[in-house]
Chains A and B, each alone.
Chain A
Amino acid sequence: MRVNINVNGEDVTADNVWPGESLLYVLRERLGLPGSKNACEQGECGSCTVYLDDVTVCSCMVAAGQAEGRAVRTVEGLAEGPGKGGDRPLGAVQQAFIEAGAVQCGFCTPGLLVQTDDLLNRTVDAGHGIPTDSEIREALAGNLCRCTGYEKILDAVHLAASRRADTDTAGSPA
């Protein structure tokens, strides 16, 4: 079957999609977007987290046909500028993860970045302030990391949140 999806702002088409195929498979194997990672394929690890319309989902649990006509944003869509290459400027959340040492093997990172971006959209950007530790832990509860022990990830989220808060304040009329 054919599936039409808006991915990272661009309308794309995937052909020869098997009806039982996951959105994750379509993104990685048919659309050349390997940022979302395939680890557990059962919603346990969060490595395949993407936005589907305006909420985050495990793309391994979305049937490809369910994404027909919908908007998907992957970790590739968090970087700034057009295209999908890795040479574009990093988004604020991505930069914060690098600076805080929150990336080790990197396999869980794409999912954590998308889920963190969503958390900041719903807290800092929505005028609810910087998320607390418990809010961060709650938001990231479905993203497993076996390297970092999570402390550096918490640091990264705090760093990204405070930068976003500064940007939001600077950008708003006094």
Chain B
Amino acid sequence: MRFLSPSTLQEALEAKAEHPGAVPITGGTDVMVELNFDKHRPEVLLDLTRIPELTHWETTDDGHTRLGAAVPYTRVIAELPTLAPALAKASRTVASPQIRNRGTVGGNLGGASPAGDTHPPLLATDATIELASTRGRRRVKARDFYLSFRTTARQDDELITAILLPTPTGPQHFAKIGTRNAMVIAVTSFALALNGRDRTVGTGIGSAGPTPLRAEAAEDFLTHEIDWDAPGLLPETTVRRFGELVAAAARPIDDQRGSAAYRRHALSVMARRTLTWSITDYRKETAPCA
């Protein structure tokens, strides 16, 4: 086994091209568990924590926040609450302070566990994943990134370099069910984003299917129910219907963390709550100035 710690992205891409089986490591919160328990012993461990491009974020001219894949959660929470509210809220629920100091959104995407906390916000906000290899760079919508259980659109010679987050034009919320507030893998989770500029709705469902999922029927329904110019409080029947459509989009299983039926129920509750929070926020944002 070898440990490579490149200081530039180009070196990292060359190493990944030469060793497609190399396992990238940033926070180590997944990779080191595999090594500590001798579950997996890769030929090459590729440390990405010393590459400046991956460890900073910036706003771009085309209305995005470009988040380096190796920026830890603690910084997402502290520095991006306005530019990426749903992602910051989800990051806030990850494990413990020590883990949030190390874990990264890039790592969450690399492992692609359906229970990963950052997937629902990335789906709901229509984020884009940037992948790079010695062949070049390409962008994949989060909505096209998760292919099947723990399998993504990333090729073996590619590294996840950045996440492009559209600048919010409406409220974003995240909710997660677990047995306590800290240190839990989601039983199930949900993110909702209202896009006031395009007048669209985005959703993301975590830990209730083989991959993170969208609730597209729920998005379409809500898009037409909201009066985008003069939003009022939604009727109870509309809120309830939205919850039902979100629950119907899930493909949960029974496992040690919860039953499929419980997950569907919890999703409908989280969908109703996040919708109520979002509409309340949106009414404030769109209220005419006194």
Contacts and interface: CB of A to CB of B under 8 A. Distances in A.
Asked if A and B are interacting partners, one says yes
A62 B181 contact: no
A20 B25 CA distance: 11
A142 B182 contact: yes
Contacts of A115: 97-98
A56 B41 contact: no
Contacts of A100: none
B211 interface: no
A49 B32 contact: no
Given A65-B47, A66-B28, A57 B102 contact: yes
B35 A20 contact: yes
A124 interface: no
Given A20-B35, A63-B45, A58 B3 contact: no
Interface string A109-145: 0000001001000000000000000000011011100
Given A63-B28, A141-B183, A142-B182, A20 B45 contact: yes
A95 interface: no
B33 A41 contact: yes
Q: How large is the interface on A (under 10, 10 to 19, 20 to 34, 35 or more residues)?
A: 20 to 34
Contacts of B2: 19
B1 A20 contact: yes
Contact of A141 (B1, B36, B37, B97): B97
Nearest to B1: A19
A122 to B, nearest CB: 10
B98 A41 contact: no
Interface string A28-51: 000000000000011110100100
Contacts of A68: 5
B194 to A, nearest CB: 29
A19 B36 contact: no
Contacts of A65: 3, 5, 45, 47
B74 interface: yes
Contacts of A143: 96
A105 interface: no
B36 A22 contact: yes
B203 interface: no
A133 to B, nearest CB: 14
B95 A142 contact: yes
A30 to B, nearest CB: 15
Nearest to A21: B35
B171 interface: no
A31 B102 CA distance: 23
Given A61-B32, A63-B45, A66-B28, A44 B183 contact: yes
Interface string B26-59: 0111011101110001000101010000000000
Contact of A55 (B3, B47, B95, B101): B101
Interface in B89-107: 95-99, 101-102
14 contacts: A20-B41, A22-B35, A42-B36, A43-B95, A43-B96, A46-B98, A56-B97, A57-B98, A58-B102, A60-B32, A61-B33, A61-B99, A61-B102, A115-B98
Interface of B: 1-3, 5, 25, 27-29, 31-33, 35-37, 41, 45, 47, 49, 74, 95-99, 101-102, 181-183
Interface of A: 1, 18-20, 22, 41-44, 46, 49, 55-58, 60-66, 68, 115, 118, 138-139, 141-143
